[in-house]
Amino acid sequence: MKSQQELSDRLEISDLITAYSYAIDFHRFDELDAIFTADGTLDFTATGGIAGDLASVKEWLASVLPNFGGHHHLVATSQVLLSGDTATARSICHNPMWFKDESQPPLFVGLWYHDTFTRTADGWRIASRVQQKGYMHGLPSR
């Protein structure tokens, strides 16, 4: 049986995974500051993005995502492994993205997020997020 602390930890981590999706999909990139540790890193190179610290990735997201008409992160089946004040998780993500130019077909991105978490004085935070590409369908020809 899981302890109340473990259940609380799992819910808090689940809330971070969800908060990330909403921050990205609604372009509220400053909300990522309360989701990641101050020295948090992200690696989106598997799907054509950048890798870097949170500030660099926020700047990149703000320059790239407005080029799309919209996108939705559907994140599910998160497998969380707790170890004291750290944790890891693997979550599947299906992310349809559509272009402002509606003559282009939508882009479907399937990936896994590999996360590490750290318990801080302010609660759990993501310390690193790395994408692992599953599929990309619908890339426009150039």
State the residue range of the domain holding 32: 4-137
93 within domain boundaries? yes
108 within domain boundaries? yes
81 within domain boundaries? yes
* Tokens matching residue 32: 């990522």
Domain count, the chain: 1
pLDDT score, position 138: 85
pLDDT score, position 139: 73
Reported in sequence order, the residue ranges of 31-122 that DSSP labels E, i.e. its strands, are 36-43, 51-53, 68-71, 74-83, 86-99, 107-120
**Rounded to an integer, what distance in angstroms lies between the CA atom of residue 86 and that of residue 31?**
22
CATH of the domain at 18: 3.10.450.50
142 within domain boundaries? no
pLDDT score, position 141: 57
List the chain residues with pLDDT less than 70.
140-142
pLDDT score, position 140: 60
Place of tokens 């109340």: 4
pLDDT score, position 102: 82
